[in-house]
Structure 1
């Protein structure tokens, strides 16, 4: 696509240059320049009715991915509603049956990124109007077809078949996570008893849906990691067990988050205590059994479950375990050094005060800046 569309080529160059700059500690000026150039060429792309909207969608995704990875000081591009963009999006979204596998995947990931950027006091990277216009699809979601001249082999096909229902689970979990995020005091009033009662009722409903989702999880997610390793070839087993572990840990993280949203006393444990133990078991298994973890560090997909574990366990030993695990995430894009320090300091503050401390405002007070997206 980048060979035939300059806006796509520019957006690919922007995100790859940003990644290399963060990976190697290089100046960001070149990537930001490419990002600005992409936004300028995107307007021309929208205005060209001969260009299919799927091409526009690729640029939207890459621009949002850039802003997710490197949040700027200004308003996100798609928080400001372009009338031309809405005019192109609206009719396209009304015919989901005609959308390509790539477009479907991009929409799914846009929704996931919106959820992530709504959590922890974030305001999201897309406007409410755009979010409401994005089409809904029934799963299971199709995989992106490989190029016709590629020979990916049987293991890739098996991976797609086994992991398709796991990804479907993860996507539906993130939609519920976004609903939980909207119940925090960052997004709605919590000042009166009526407010709090309404939040409690909505949370109970979401929790019920979470439990239904868990009960309907795929057979592959119900298998013990050691059983999967016994039944699958080592390379495939590592990939599948890692994905299953991340998704299962993400589910338990939402139960921990619900307690934090409700603001119950930290001594009053509900399902979150069991969820915390499950997160530790999943991560310990990954660290013990996965060859990739030993050579490449812990999978970044465990970052949020570990962070929530660290700030909700209210125990020095357990907190230190989680902080140490966060530090094992080596990819600099995920800022594990920052999040391990953040988790440690926030947990210490909570244990001193014997109550929860608001994470966003603590971060601003301690580090002088809002937290990056988690």
Structure 2
């Protein structure tokens, strides 16, 4: 059929949806509220299924070229003893594709480069997504965790939920050959190489909702993690105040549907999840390809969108539930040997694809 589609949100999922819909024969406009694409940001792990989605969009090889292969890693205790290994080699043998690391700005630039200039409108916020249905045959909400499109569909019936933890994250000038996580009592610290001389870092701690931010995040991180095994103290010592992002971790109450009439949600707008499985960007890419496939030859757009909902809602909600479970597991304060045994059991078959 084709027709006119508008995508609200020019992030990873929104740009991917724009590319996919154009390839499916739709005239596409992507509306992004920011005036420019970001030039800085942390790294992302692109797992095999998401790489296949990028291949379907025609940009997989460029992402491989501009990214790097993720090395294996370990999950350790604060004294450096190992709880379990993350066998990415097994993942590659099983799926024929490694995990690729790419920074968010690079991935966004690659996706934006696959769209014709006029298709992406920067500095174009949307406040009334319902009115878009007057001008477009399909409205796609790819506008993130605080989606206005989702609010138009559901109001406040399915709110964001506090996941029980506060996170800090950033990028530091440090060269690591291998990443991994360290799990302590109610807190964790993670590291992922981001390229020569650069390392992504993140930390999380179980805290009550609404706890006031510390006056000095760097000092707080030093207090929490400064006596852990190397290189964690080195990372903390290398931090600068302006390089630390802090936020409460939230996810989305599961929705009964990702679609309504001629409107569809994808990515965080549909299934915002905690970062514990590293699947947020990956699932947004897969959503975008599935949506484009479902509406490729659609005569009845609402029926095509219901097909998309059947294809994507249950898998993404299972992954979101798994991420929430993983976050709770990594944040326990008691019965740590039981925690460690559960983690080893979860990784026994290799990480998820």
The higher relative CO (CA closer than 8 Å, separation ≥ 6) is in: 2
Query: How high is the TM-score relative to the length of structure 2?
Result: 0.30
- Bigger helix share: 1
- Bigger strand share: 2
Query: How high is the TM-score relative to the length of structure 1?
Result: 0.29
